[in-house]
């Protein structure tokens, strides 16, 4: 038997992953506690009392879920190392249990502090554990279901031209939809079976599978956070939304997979064999009713997640099992359709002792060769290799099929090492063809990407360097794949200011808004307004209106367009494209029209009978805003702020206050600055959550406004700060250096030009809009004088050489 890998927990800088939780829970790996952590536990203790340790585990349906819960409990317990009266005996006992089969914890004498810690960590550990199991399974299911869907396309002889139209090239297509379509095309490359029948359950594969990929990333991010956050599990809506969203993605994927499997069954074999196959399929494959019931139960418990947290998470895990089995049956049906030729023989066919059908050589010669895709051909061959000689004692085709079904369920089991090899091969096929989808680069070159903003790189920097408190500003270029238009560019400068770390409540939020008002006042661009809202207030509003949690972010992106489109257009999008009821959309419309002075609108929302006071998320947001608005009023900048419930900000990483500065003058350039609080972004790149808030100013948009203001005032924008051009007619650089240096010494912005041609000097002054010229020609050199020319007035005077600096200062001071 192969030696099991060892996973170390509790070490400095270490973090617990979902795959580690799964491996230990399933007995696929051993666990070791870092010795440096054990040394920090107390050696002495207060009085002890005997306890049954099993009583500190929540009642979970399976041993695997209970063991996973124990892994997370141990990890969270290790984060308490150094606490008084918590001894090393407890984590050592838990580790010993996890390194043995089953779940034999037994009894242990505990201190009061140890018993209290276990009780407090009980629920959070269970929820975190099931999140980890789901994270690991859903990531694997994403790859598995892509491979199965590809061979189903061939089994159904489906038209896959829809996969080619996923990327419209305008930058608005979903990245994940494009990725799924590309992976499927790689797997099916060279297939002679596809391209005949248009099937809805096939053309929609990229969208359905992309949604699972998106939710896999979301649940992975949430899980990594809650697994490594000490004793905290995170707010119910954070974990609940992640699990509800993945449940919806699982339901849709299972539903489409089941549809394809049924279609394939209808196309397989003779009528008698088909009848037997249908009977077997209906008996062993989960039905659409069981899939729907599983999802409905999850949805019901999801609305009560705060009361049934662990039960809710367990039911999502049950739904995962149902969908996994459906996808496995789809794989079996597709394989039988493509390679089960022996099952299509008449009932008089014979099966040999090795479980393989004897095939008539003459009929085999007549059989037309089937050309599979280069990727799907490998997938099918891997399955054939697994099934070789696995027919058991089957005496007919139906018996062989029953044995194959059992083998499929064993082969496509996440615990099976052969399944790991299968997944690795699928990934290798897709990744080996990655170069076909990427732009070619010159020999010796590099394939790089351009940064979208400055916030995410800042978050990564803070996380990678273990920084817990940091203030910084940065001015740098960023890039977008936008269609260029007025105020919208593909390459532009942003100026960012961010505060990361634990500070007084709403202190950093106040400070960045105050800095923004000072900055815009100093730029003197005219009248502007800072629209402000709170992400939790939006989520609370959606809950009040009856928006399903899994649709919060997509509805939020619709609301974010209200500054460009009418509410009727947005309502149509929410109802027709995103599935909201008209009643729910109208409720949202009533709320997003609320806008006004911060303190006045806040008072209105907090009045007795307000629906916002009945929602915990909204109450948290209103309390935050009360502190913020009071600080803004005391700092005398609240007059520039408008409390606007329609402000949504499309980026998903915002968690608290959000704001956006807009110019109220004639130049229409969109928002000129925006930002908000992002408490979870830094934690995505490391093991610690560091709260942060920041602003970002678009410099080119500010320049557009300034240029428009100058144009309105009949002023031209100057390209330089130079106030004086020192013009030396001739070739004497020394004279230019002497005079320019005297001006620079007195802090006069000057530049020089040495040239024999007079037109060169005057052209330079006019093109650069330099207001003054000091001119020295041959006559001036002989007379020891200089000419001082006012370019705008077209007037000049002659001054002695020794008085020129004094005269220039006088003229500039009066202008």
Report, as an integer, the average pLDDT of 456-469.
92
pLDDT tens readout for residues 109-140: 888 888 888 888 888 888 888 999 999 999 99
The pTM for the full model equals 0.55
Q: What is the pLDDT of residue 599?
A: 95
Top pLDDT among 193 and 38 is at 193
Highest mean pLDDT among 183-187, 463-467, 733-737: 733-737
Cα 523 to Cα 520, 532, 554, 749, 809, distances in angstroms: 5, 21, 36, 21, 26
Report, as an integer, the average pLDDT of 433-451.
57
Beta bridge partners of 788: 774, 797
Q: Which residues contact 130 (CB under 8 A, 6 or more apart)?
A: 60, 65, 68, 69, 310, 313, 314, 316, 317
pLDDT tops 80 at residue 329: yes
Given pLDDT bands bounded at 50, 70 and 90, which one contains residue 507?
very high
d(CA 690, CA 681): 8
d(CA 517, CA 498): 15
Q: What is the pLDDT of residue 180?
A: 92
Tally the C-alpha atoms within 13 A of residue 614's C-alpha that lie toward its C-beta: 9
pLDDT tops 50 at residue 358: no
pLDDT tops 80 at residue 493: yes
pLDDT tens readout for residues 234-259: 554 566 677 888 999 999 999 999 99
Q: What is the pLDDT of residue 164?
A: 80
Ranges of H-type helices in 172-235:
175-188, 200-203, 205-227
| Cβ count near 63 (within 10 Å) | 14
pLDDT tens readout for residues 743-759: 999 999 999 999 999 99
d(CA 122, CA 120): 6
pLDDT tops 50 at residue 539: yes
Given pLDDT bands bounded at 50, 70 and 90, which one contains residue 346?
very low
Q: 516-529 burial, b if ≥16 CB within 10 A, otherwise e? A: bbebbeeeebbebb
Q: What is the pLDDT of residue 3?
A: 79
d(CA 568, CA 585): 10
pLDDT tens readout for residues 662-683: 988 766 677 899 999 999 999 8
Report, as an integer, the average pLDDT of 328-344.
79
Report, as an integer, the average pLDDT of 87-95.
86
Top pLDDT among 163 and 515 is at 515
Q: What is the pLDDT of residue 118?
A: 85
User: What percent of the chain shows pLDDT beyond 90?
Assistant: 44
Report, as an integer, the average pLDDT of 769-793.
93
Q: 101-127 burial, b if ≥16 CB within 10 A, otherwise e? A: eebebeeeebbebbbebbeebbebbbb
* Cα–Cα nearest to 155, from 387, 364, 331: 331
Between 70-79, 216-225, 438-447, the lowest mean confidence (pLDDT) is in: 438-447
Element (H, E) at 549: none
Q: What are 283's two structure tokens?
A: 């008996």
**Mean pLDDT, all residues of the chain:** 85
Q: What is the pLDDT of residue 396?
A: 64
Cα 762 to Cα 208, 260, 755, 793, 794, distances in angstroms: 68, 79, 11, 14, 11
pLDDT tops 80 at residue 441: no
């Amino acid at each position: 038997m192969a030696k099991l890998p060892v996973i170390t927990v509790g070490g400095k800088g270490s973090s617990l992953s979902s795959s580690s939780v799964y491996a230990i829970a399933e007995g696929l790996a051993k666990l070791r506690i870092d010795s440096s952590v054990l040394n920090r536990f107390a050696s002495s203790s207060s009085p002890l009392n005997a306890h049954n340790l099993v009583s500190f585990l929540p009642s979970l349906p399976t041993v695997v879920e209970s063991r996973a819960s124990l892994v997370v409990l141990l990890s969270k317990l290790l984060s308490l190392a150094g606490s008084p009266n918590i001894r090393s005996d407890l984590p050592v006992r838990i580790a010993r249990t996890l390194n043995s089969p089953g779940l034999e914890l037994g009894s242990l004498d505990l201190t009061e502090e140890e018993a209290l810690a276990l009780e407090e960590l009980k629920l959070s550990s269970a929820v975190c554990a099931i999140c980890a199991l789901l994270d690991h399974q859903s990531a694997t299911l994403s790859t598995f279901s892509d491979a199965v869907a590809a061979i189903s396309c061939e089994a159904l002889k489906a038209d896959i031209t829809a996969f080619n139209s996923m990327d419209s090239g305008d930058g608005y297509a979903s990245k994940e939809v494009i990725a799924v379509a590309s992976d499927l095309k790689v797997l099916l490359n060279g297939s002679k079976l596809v391209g005949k029948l248009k099937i809805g359950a096939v053309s929609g594969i990229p969208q359905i599978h992309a949604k699972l990929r998106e939710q896999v990333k979301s649940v992975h991010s949430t899980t990594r956070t809650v697994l490594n956050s000490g004793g905290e599990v995170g707010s119910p809506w954070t974990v609940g939304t992640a699990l509800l969203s993945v449940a919806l993605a699982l339901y849709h994927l299972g539903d489409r997979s089941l549809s394809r499997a049924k279609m394939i069954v209808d196309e397989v074999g003779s009528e008698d064999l088909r009848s037997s196959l249908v009977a077997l399929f209906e008996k062993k494959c989960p039905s659409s009713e069981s899939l729907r019931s599983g999802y409905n139960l999850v949805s019901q418990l999801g609305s009560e997640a705060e009361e049934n947290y662990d039960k809710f998470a367990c039911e999502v895990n049950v739904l995962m099992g149902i969908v996994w089995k459906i996808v496995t049956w789809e794989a079996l049906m597709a394989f039988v359709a493509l390679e089960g030729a022996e099952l299509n023989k008449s009932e008089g066919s014979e099966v040999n002792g090795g479980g393989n059908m004897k095939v008539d050589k003459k009929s085999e010669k007549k059989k037309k060769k089937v050309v599979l895709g280069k990727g799907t051909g490998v997938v099918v061959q891997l399955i054939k290799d697994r099934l070789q000689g696995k027919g058991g004692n089957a005496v007919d085709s139906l018996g062989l099929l029953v044995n194959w079904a059992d083998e499929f369920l064993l082969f496509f089991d996440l615990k099976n090492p052969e399944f790991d090899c299968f997944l690795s091969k699928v990934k290798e096929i897709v990744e080996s063809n990655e170069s076909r989808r990427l732009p070619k680069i010159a020999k010796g070159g590099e394939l790089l990407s351009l940064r979208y903003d400055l916030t995410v790189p800042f978050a990564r920097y803070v996380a990678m360097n273990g920084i817990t408190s940091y203030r910084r500003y940065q001015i740098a270029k960023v890039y977008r794949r936008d269609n260029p238009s007025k105020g919208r560019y593909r390459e532009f400068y942003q100026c960012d200011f961010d505060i990361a770390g634990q500070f007084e409540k709403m202190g950093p939020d106040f400070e960045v808004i105050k800095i923004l008002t000072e900055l815009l006042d100093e730029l003197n661009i005219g009248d502007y307004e800072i629209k402000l809202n709170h992400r939790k207030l939006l989520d609370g509003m959606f809950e009040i209106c009856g928006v399903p949690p899994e649709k919060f972010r997509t509805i939020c992106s619709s609301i974010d367009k209200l500054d460009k489109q009418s509410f009727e257009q947005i309502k149509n999008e929410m109802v027709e494209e995103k599935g909201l009821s008209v009643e729910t959309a109208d409720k949202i419309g009533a709320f997003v029209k609320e806008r006004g002075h911060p303190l006045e609108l806040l008072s209105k929302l907090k009045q007795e009978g307000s629906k916002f006071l009945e929602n915990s998320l909204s109450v948290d947001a209103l309390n935050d805003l009360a502190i913020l608005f009071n600080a803004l009023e005391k700092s005398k900048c609240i007059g520039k702020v408008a409390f606007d419930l329609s402000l949504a900000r499309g980026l998903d990483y915002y968690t608290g206050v959000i704001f956006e500065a807009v110019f109220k003058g004639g130049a229409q350039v969109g928002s000129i600055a925006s930002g908000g609080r992002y408490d979870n972004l830094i934690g995505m790149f490391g093991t610690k959550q560091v709260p942060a808030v920041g602003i970002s100013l678009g410099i080119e948009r500010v320049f557009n406004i300034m240029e428009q203001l100058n144009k309105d005032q009949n002023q031209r924008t100057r390209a330089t700060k130079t106030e004086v051009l020192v013009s030396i007619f001739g070739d004497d650089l020394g004279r230019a250096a002497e005079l320019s240096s005297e001006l620079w010494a007195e802090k006069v912005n000057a530049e020089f030009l040495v040239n024999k041609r007079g037109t060169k000097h005057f052209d330079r002054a006019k093109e650069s809009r330099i207001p003054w010229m000091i001119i020295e020609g041959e006559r001036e050199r002989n007379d020891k004088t200089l000419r001082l020319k006012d370019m705008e007035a077209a007037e000049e005077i002659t001054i002695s050489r020794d008085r020129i600096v004094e005269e220039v200062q006088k003229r500039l001071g009066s202008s």
